Amino acid sequence: MKIVKDEILFTTGTVKNANKGIIGLSPDLCVYEGYDGPFHQPHEDYMGDAYDELSVTEQIELAEYMIKSWEEFKSKVK
């Protein structure tokens, strides 16, 4: 997986939009892009819509990417 500008490119070929390459995870484990739009939710949102759009492979790939990113961030904290 890699991020190029406003896109997340998964090794599966799936491309998701992410404003400024920002990926967020809410306390209830919903994945958001940029600063306002969900692109994966393991359950229905407040309007009853489901956004369970990422395959299991893509979910794992995203999690591994974010873990690596946070570990890099942590290593630079002085």
3-state SS of 4-51 is ECCEEECCCCCEEECHHHCEEECCCCCEEECCCEEEECCCECCCCCEC
Determine the distance from the C-alpha atom of residue 17 to the mean position of all C-alpha atoms in its chain, rounded to a whole number: 10
Q: What is the pTM of this model?
A: 0.80
CA–CA separation, 17 and 47 (whole Å) = 21
Tell me: the pLDDT tens digits for 35-76? 777 776 665 555 555 555 788 899 899 999 999 999 999 999
How many domains does the chain contain in total? Answer: 1
CB-based burial label for 51 (10 Å; 0-12, 13-18, 19+): middle
Range of the domain at 12: 2-75
